[in-house]
């Protein structure tokens, strides 16, 4: 199951949070379309700013908070904040609402799966060998103290007539462990031979309950304690279910 489902969607509410945080009863489809417009506008204007993630919050009816996670905050802000003001104005014109923009710097882009996938895509578009691009990305990520990484590249690799997939794995990537902090990114490289897809999984370690509370994520499910034995060390008789009903085991073994 963990190998097929989206790694981030699989962990929502456990160790991962939502990128759109708001609630609506009747205007849901309109706000969802508005989120799409906001993300398209930002990705178009900041295509060279290494933007990894865009979070949208709505606390009031006519106010939107947009958090942009980027590895190049200087490009997003611009000289004296000129670029971010232009972006804010463009978003307000598109949404007809007040928009507040926050810039969050990604200090280790080597541990961000989307940025790793995007860097591989850029190298493939420059006709760098796909094996070399994959190996360099894996080595950089592991040098940044990642626990593991998996990269899958698919398409007409090297201009081959038949499309195929190639995989590069180092370390461990526990996709079925919910407490594992696994980042996932998908990018496309548009080459003269066609589109090449790049998928990246980065395992950054486990998120423990104490760390989860600090991050404000959902708490871990409470495990009910086992029933204590009786005094004197006597164990409660076991119950077993049979087709004909329920029978209590005799202690004498009869």
> In terms of C-beta distances under 8 Å and separation of at least 24 residues, what long-range contacts does 121-125 make, across chains too?
121/187, 121/188, 121/189, 121/196, 121/198, 122/189, 124/153, 124/189, 124/191, 124/196, 124/198, 125/189, 125/190, 125/191
User: Where do the domains of the chain lie?
Assistant: 7-105, 109-211
Q: Is pLDDT larger for residue 50 or for residue 224?
A: 50
Q: Sign of the C-alpha dihedral, residues 114, 116, 117, 122?
A: positive
The mean pLDDT of 170-199, rounded to a whole number, is: 94
Fold of 7-105: GMP Synthetase; Chain A, domain 3 (3.30.300)
Tell the CATH topology of 109-211. Answer: Ribosomal protein S3 C-terminal domain (3.30.1140)
State the pLDDT at residue 234.
53
What pLDDT score was predicted for residue 224? 41
Query: Is 246 a residue whose pLDDT tops 50?
Result: no
Pairing of strands 245-248, 239-242: antiparallel
Output the average pLDDT for the chain: 85
Judge whether residue 194 has pLDDT over 90: yes
pTM: 0.78
CA distances from 112 to 15, 71, 120, 243 (A): 16, 9, 13, 54
What was the pLDDT predicted at 3? 76
Same fold, 7-105 and 109-211: no
Per-residue model confidence as pLDDT tens digits over 40-72: 999 999 989 999 999 999 988 789 999 999 999
In SS3 terms, 201-226 reads as: EEEEEECCHHHHHHHCCCCCCCCCCC
Q: What percentage of the chain carries pLDDT values higher than 70? A: 81
């Amino acid at each position: 199951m963990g190998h097929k489902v989206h790694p981030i969607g699989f962990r929502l509410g456990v160790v991962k949070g939502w990128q759109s945080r708001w609630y609506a009863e009747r205007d849901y489809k309109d706000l969802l379309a508005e989120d799409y417009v906001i993300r398209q506008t930002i990705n178009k204007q900041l295509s060279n700013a290494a933007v990894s993630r865009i979070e949208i919050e709505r606390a009031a009816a006519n106010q939107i908070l947009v958090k942009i996670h980027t590895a190049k905050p200087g490009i997003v802000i611009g000289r004296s904040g000129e670029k971010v003001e232009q972006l804010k104005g463009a978003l307000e014109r598109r949404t007809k609402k007040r928009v507040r923009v926050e810039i969050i710097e990604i200090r280790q882009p080597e541990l961000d799966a989307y940025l790793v996938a995007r860097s591989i895509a850029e190298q493939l578009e420059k006709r760098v060998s796909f094996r070399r691009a994959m190996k360099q990305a894996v080595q950089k990520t592991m040098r940044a103290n990642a626990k593991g990484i998996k990269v899958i590249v698919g398409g007409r690799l090297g201009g081959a007539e038949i499309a195929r997939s190639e995989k590069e794995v180092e370390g461990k990537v526990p996709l079925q462990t919910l407490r594992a902090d696994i980042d996932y990114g998908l990018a496309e490289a548009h080459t003269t031979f066609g589109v090449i897809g790049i998928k990246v999984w980065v395992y950054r370690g486990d998120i423990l309950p104490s760390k989860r509370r600090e991050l404000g994520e959902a708490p871990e499910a409470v495990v009910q304690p086992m029933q204590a034995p009786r005094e004197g060390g006597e164990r409660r008789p076991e119950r077993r279910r049979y087709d004909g009903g329920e029978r209590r085991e005799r202690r004498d073994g009869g």
